[in-house]
Amino acid sequence: MKYMTGLALAVFFALPAQAHDTTLDILSVPSEADFAAAQSIADERIRQIEAGKHEDAISDTVAASELLAAKTSEKNLLIGQARTSVELYGPVERCVLATREHFSALRITLNYVCQHEQLLLLWTLRVDNLPQGWTITNLKFTDSY
């Protein structure tokens, strides 16, 4: 009986350790190849922004994701805000990658500082590794950072 109780306790304590190992895999650091793949997708949008094509950058991002495609009002609002930022601060001169962060091997956030004539804006692109591949799942900008 003592043997059975000991065995049951050993199995009980082993199970959370196995689950924990899986969690560590999911929350692991992205590889350099992951960072490069995510940045490649984000850089496409940043090049559009640098070319003054904010609306295309936002529309193309939304079109690439079924989830975002359903958010028409948010897309239109972001396009309007981007247009207003250019009216207020002037066109984008250039953008540089400022930081890259990760939540796990499945989510990378890239922050770009974009230089307008009058002010620097921070563009943040969240790129997730979904079953269909790396996809931008959030795009935003701010002048308060």
| Sequential pLDDT tens for the chain (145 residues) | 554 444 444 444 444 444 445 555 567 899 999 999 999 999 999 999 999 999 999 999 999 888 888 888 999 999 999 999 999 999 999 999 999 999 898 999 999 999 999 999 999 999 999 999 999 999 999 999 8
Domain count, the chain: 1
Q: For residue 38, give the CATH number of its domain.
A: 3.10.450.630
Q: 3-state DSSP call for residue 120?
A: strand
- Three-state DSSP class for 73? helix
Residue 84 lies in a domain: yes
The Cβ-side half-sphere exposure at 56, using a 13 Å CA radius, reads 10
Q: In the numeric block, which tokens belong to residue 27? A: 């929350």
In a domain, 89, yes or no: yes
b/e map of 112-131 (b: 16 or more CB within 10 Å)?
Answer: bebbbeeeebbbbbbbbbee
pTM above 0.85, yes or no: no
12 is a domain residue: no
In a domain, 51, yes or no: yes
- Domain span at residue 88 reads 30-142
Indicate whether 17 belongs to any domain. Answer: no
Give domain status of residue 79, yes or no.
yes
